[in-house]
């Protein structure tokens, strides 16, 4: 908004919520996957709506609306689907919970190790405070938590949990960097005002957005 770009917020929110609910409904309601196609007219109504607006940069508005689908909605669909990886018809909270615990462990470890030992910058252009020491510290903490989870949730071997932790550390960090890049490209400090002092709501989930699809693909290949 500050940069002059006006995404179709209402259409984006409704379409995003509908896509997520319909994707979740595949498990709960057991309907045919073809009904997901009902979302297509709503998604492409963005183009039609833009015809009637007097915007100087219509395709920027359209593009940022679609970024919301790809960057937010689809990752949350994958995160939710983690619970159905072992059984399509029955939700199991172990994988989603383990994902969040390892993600939070990575964030906490990266911060603590970065503050204590951080010297070499990880990606100064997008996030000046991040360091390689913090990155590997976060990964170490996440892997440590994964070994604890292997005793708590015995359906997967320790190496499967450890691989999940490494992917979460790598792509969770990249997700944080991508979100920083997005904010800098729009010349804004916070991604929203819903959580004052926390950089916006998106800052609470930025690591999940890139990590969830990758972790889902990894576990799908391993468990299937």
Bridge partners, residue 127, by sequence: 123
162 three-state secondary structure: helix
Query: What's phi and psi for 186, nearest 5 deg?
Result: -100, 5
For each of the chain's 224 residues, which pLDDT tens digit applies?
556 678 888 888 888 898 898 888 888 887 777 877 888 888 888 899 888 888 888 888 888 888 888 899 999 999 999 999 988 888 999 999 999 999 999 999 999 999 999 888 988 888 888 999 999 999 999 999 999 999 999 999 999 999 999 999 999 999 999 988 888 877 766 555 544 544 456 777 889 999 999 999 999 999 87
Q: How many angstroms separate the CA atoms of 14 and 7, rounded? A: 13
58, containing H or E segment: helix 58-68
* CB-side neighbour CA atoms (13 Å) of 127: 22
pTM of the model: 0.86
Where are the domains positioned within the chain? 1-87, 93-224
- Give the pLDDT score at 30: 79
101, containing H or E segment: helix 94-117
- Give the pLDDT score at 198: 44
- Give the pLDDT score at 81: 95
């Amino acid at each position: 908004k500050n940069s002059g770009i006006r995404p179709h917020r209402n259409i984006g929110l409704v379409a995003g919520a509908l896509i997520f609910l319909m994707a979740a409904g595949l498990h709960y309601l057991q309907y045919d996957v073809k009904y997901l196609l009902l979302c297509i007219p709503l998604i492409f109504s963005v183009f039609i709506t833009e015809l009637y607006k007097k915007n100087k940069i219509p395709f920027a508005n359209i593009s940022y609306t679609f970024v919301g689908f790809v960057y937010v909605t689809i990752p949350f669909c994958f995160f939710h689907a983690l619970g159905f990886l072992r059984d399509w018809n029955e939700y199991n909270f172990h994988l989603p919970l383990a994902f969040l615990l390892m993600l939070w462990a990575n964030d906490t470890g990266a911060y603590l190790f970065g503050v204590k030992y951080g010297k070499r910058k990880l990606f100064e252009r997008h996030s000046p405070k991040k360091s390689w020491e913090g990155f590997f510290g976060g990964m170490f903490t996440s892997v440590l938590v994964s070994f604890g989870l292997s005793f708590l949730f015995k359906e997967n071997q320790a190496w499967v949990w450890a691989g999940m932790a490494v992917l979460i550390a790598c792509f969770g960090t990249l997700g944080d960097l991508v979100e920083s890049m997005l904010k800098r490209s729009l010349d804004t400090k916070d991604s929203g005002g819903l959580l004052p002092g926390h950089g916006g709501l998106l800052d609470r989930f930025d690591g999940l957005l890139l990590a969830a699809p990758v972790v889902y693909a990894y576990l799908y290949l391993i468990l299937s």
